[in-house]
Amino acid sequence: MNNVSAENGPDESMLAEERKRERNWDPAKRWRAIQDTIAWADLQAQHPRNSSHACLQAQGFQTQ
């Protein structure tokens, strides 16, 4: 079996699968799902994205 990458690597079968999904996903449903995922991801963080703590943490990482 050919191994494939979970990290969006260059594997052709993965890229072809992703392109096929894009073509077949209703844009409005896709947009809704992405918004929901962003909201869910924000809930996972101890500090919300727009808090001063999160901004300072991100700034610190960028300047490392």
Partner 1 sequence: MNVDTILDNMNRHKVRYLLIGGMNFLLRHRPILTFDVDLWIEDSEPNRQLCHSALVSLAAEWGKSDADWGPVKDKSSDWLSVQHVFCLTSPHGAIDIFRSVRGLASWSTCFAESVRERTAGAVSYYGICDRDMLACQRCLPREHQKLERIAALEQALAREPRDE
Q: Are 49 and 42 in contact (CB under 8 A)?
A: yes
Burial of 44 (0-12, 13-18, 19+ CB in 10 A): exposed
State which of positions 13-42 bind partner 1 (CB under 8 A).
13-14, 17-18, 20-21, 23-25, 29-30, 33-34, 36-37, 39-42
Does residue 8 come out as left (phi exceeding 0), alpha (psi in the -120 to 50 range) or beta?
A: left
Q: Is 53 in the site for partner 1 (CB under 8 A)?
A: no
Q: Is 56 in the site for partner 1 (CB under 8 A)?
A: no
- For binding to partner 1 (CB under 8 A), which residues are involved? 1-11, 13-14, 17-18, 20-21, 23-25, 29-30, 33-34, 36-37, 39-45, 49, 54, 61
